[in-house]
Amino acid sequence: CVCSSYMGLEPGTDMIGIPVTKVFIGSCTNGRIEDMRAVASVAKGRKVAEGVDALVVPGSGLVKEMAEKEGLHEILKEAGFDWREPGCSMCLAMNPDKLKPQERCASTSNRNFEGRQGNGGRTHLVSPIMAAAAAVNGCLTDVRHLELTNFDPIDGEDDIANFYEGTLPSTGALINSGSALTSGDDDDDNAPGLPKFTVLTGIAAPLDLQNIDTDMIIPKEYLKTIKRAGLGYAAFAELRYENPDEVAVNPDAAVDKTDFVLNQAPWKNAAKILVAGDNFGCGSSREHAPWSINDMGIRCIISTSFADIFYNNCFNNGMLPLKLPRQQVEILLEDAAAGLELTVDLPNNEVRRPNGDVFTFELDEARKTNLLNGYDQIGLTMLKVDKIVAFEAKRSIDTPWLDGATTRVPASMPVHEAVPV
C-alpha cells in the first residue's frame, strides 16, 4: 500500500527496534516542563546513541527558564542531546532542521502528514519519554524496560522571587475616555480594520486540485514573520517555483514553473478570484495561508468545502471563502480556464457568470455584516467602546487594585490600600 511504501515498512512489522537517525523532542504540546523532566529521567547517566541526532526544544521561553533553573539542560547536554532555543524547529521543519528523504525520526510533533518534517521524511509520533528512549538506544524502544531517574520540581521562595523579578507596578485603568480606541473616521473604506468586501469583479483562476492543504498554500519555510503584508510571493511556492527553498531565503531568485496557472497569462498578477477543488485549506492552522493569498490580490476563493480553521481565518482577513455545489464549481472552473471574469455580489449573495447566469450562495449573516463593513475583531470591539469605557470606569472605582494588573504578580508586591485582605 501507499502508506507502507512511504514509511518503508511492511504491514505487521514489530515497531520495537526500528532504527532512527533523528529524534525531535519539542512542540507547543510536548515541550512542557514536565516533558523536559521526563526526558532528563531517561538521559541521566546515558548517552545518545552513535549516529543519532537528538534535539530538545522547550515549548516556550518560560519552560526553558524553568528547565535551566532545575539543571535539566546540563543533564541533557551531558548525554549528547542538542539543547535549543524555544521555537517550532523540526516539529514542522521551518528551519534547516529537516528530515532528508527516507530518513527516519522519532518525534513528539503534535501531528503528522507526508512531508511535515521534510520531503520524504519518515516520522514516528511518540511521547517525549519514548523519544528520549529512542535517542539513547538508537531505535524505537519501550521505555518501560529502562530504569529512570525521578526529577521533582523545585519549590522554594527564592525561585518564586526570581521568577517575578522585573514585574511592573499597576499602570492604572487600561481604557479611559479619550483613548485612541475611540477615534477613527467611520467614512473611511478601511475603517475600522479591513477593506470592505461588497461587489468583486475580476478574472478567476482555475485550480482544480483536491485537498490543497496549508503547506501547499504557503510552505513552512515562509512562516518566519508575523506581518500580514508582503507574503504574496510565498503563496503556492512549491507549485509555483522551480526552487521554492531558495525563494524562501531570496525572493529575487525565483524561477517560475511555466505550467502553474498563476504564472500564466491572463491570470499572473491579475487574478482576483480563485476557483478551487474540494476541501481547500486543510492541514495545519497557519493564518499565513490566507495572508499570502490575500497579498496576491485574491480576495475570494470558491470551492465546495473548506477546512474550518482556514475558513474562519479568511473572514478574519477580509476574504470571502464561498461554498457552492460541485456542479456549479465545475461550470465556474470552465469560465476561469477560459480567462473570463466573474462577479461576486456579497450584498445579494450572488455569483454572476459572463453569460448572465446567476448562482446564489448562503452565508452566515454575522460574517456577511463583518465583510460588508470591514470589521475585524478589533473593529467589532470598537463598536462597543462606550460600554467598555463605562465598565472600566466603574471597575476602577469599585476595585481599583485591578487597574492594569499584571499576570505575573509576586506575593510581596505592594497592593492598593482598598484591596480586601
Q: What is the pLDDT of residue 84?
A: 93
The DSSP letter of residue 273 is: E
| The pLDDT of residue 191 is above 70 | no
Residue 130, C-beta contacts closer than 8 angstroms, at least 6 positions apart: 106, 140, 141, 142, 143
Tell me which amino acid residue 378 is. I
Question: For the residues of 84-119, what is the DSSP string, one character each?
Answer: --SS-GGGTT-SS--PPTT-EEEE--S---TTTTST
Q: How far is CA 388 from the centre of its chain?
A: 30
Q: Of 284, 323, 327, 319, whose CA–CA distance to 298 is shortest?
A: 319
Please, what is the average pLDDT of the chain? Answer: 86
C-alpha 81/C-alpha 9 separation (Å) is: 27
pLDDT-derived band of residue 347, with 50, 70 and 90 as boundaries? very high
Q: What is the pLDDT of residue 153?
A: 65
Q: What are phi and psi of 370, to 5 degrees?
A: -60, -45
- For 303-329, write each residue's pLDDT tens digit: 999 999 999 999 999 999 999 999 999
C-alpha 2/C-alpha 8 separation (Å) is: 10
Q: What is the pLDDT of residue 138?
A: 97
- For 52-93, write each residue's pLDDT tens digit: 999 999 999 999 999 999 999 999 999 999 999 998 888 877
The x, y and z cell numbers of residue 221, run together, are 519555510
Q: What is the pLDDT of residue 1?
A: 55
Kindly report the three-state secondary structure assignment for every residue of 161-230.
Answer: HHHCCCCCCCCCCCCCCCCHHHCCCCCCCCCCCCCCCCEEEEEEEEECCCCCEHHHHCCHHHCCCCCCCC
Q: What is the pLDDT of residue 157?
A: 44
The x, y and z cell numbers of residue 41, run together, are 529521567
The x, y and z cell numbers of residue 215, run together, are 503547506
For CA atoms 173, 178, 180, 185, the dihedral sign is positive
C-alpha 24/C-alpha 27 separation (Å) is: 9
Place of cell 509555483: 240
pLDDT-derived band of residue 137, with 50, 70 and 90 as boundaries? very high
- Compute and round to an integer the Cα radius of gyration of the chain: 26
- For 281-307, write each residue's pLDDT tens digit: 998 788 999 999 999 999 999 999 999
Q: What is the pLDDT of residue 269?
A: 95
Place of cell 516533558: 35
> What number is the average pLDDT over the span 155-171?
49
> What number is the average pLDDT over the span 166-181?
46
* Percent of the chain residues past pLDDT 70, beyond the cut: 84
- Pairing of β 22-25 and β 53-56: parallel
Place of cell 539543571: 71
Q: What is the pLDDT of residue 305?
A: 97
> What number is the average pLDDT over the span 150-156?
63
> What number is the average pLDDT over the span 329-344?
97
Identify the bridge partners of residue 323 per DSSP, sorted by sequence position: 303
The x, y and z cell numbers of residue 378, run together, are 478589533
| The pLDDT of residue 180 is above 80 | no
pLDDT-derived band of residue 181, with 50, 70 and 90 as boundaries? very low
Q: What is the pLDDT of residue 362?
A: 97
Total residue count of the chain as it appears in this document = 421
Q: What is the pLDDT of residue 185?
A: 45
| The pLDDT of residue 231 is above 60 | yes
| The pLDDT of residue 173 is above 80 | no
Q: What is the pLDDT of residue 315?
A: 96
> What number is the average pLDDT over the span 144-173?
60
Q: What is the pLDDT of residue 418?
A: 54
* Percent of the chain residues past pLDDT 90, beyond the cut: 62
| The pLDDT of residue 160 is above 70 | no
The x, y and z cell numbers of residue 99, run together, are 528530515
Q: What is the pLDDT of residue 155?
A: 55
> What number is the average pLDDT over the span 210-232?
88
pLDDT-derived band of residue 139, with 50, 70 and 90 as boundaries? very high
Helices (H) and strands (E) in the chain, counts: 15, 12
Decide: residue 263, CB within 10 A, 0-12 exposed, 13-18 middle, 19+ buried: middle
pLDDT-derived band of residue 29, with 50, 70 and 90 as boundaries? confident
Q: What is the pLDDT of residue 417?
A: 58
Domains detected in the chain: 2-145 (3.30.499.10), 199-363 (3.20.19.10)
Q: Which carries the bigger pLDDT value, residue 115 or residue 345?
A: 345
Helices 288-295 and 308-316, packing angle to 10 deg: 50
Q: What is the pLDDT of residue 177?
A: 41
Q: Of 39, 48, 55, whose CA–CA distance to 97 is shortest?
A: 55
The x, y and z cell numbers of residue 196, run together, are 470592505
Q: Of 22, 254, 216, 228, whose CA–CA distance to 124 is shortest?
A: 22
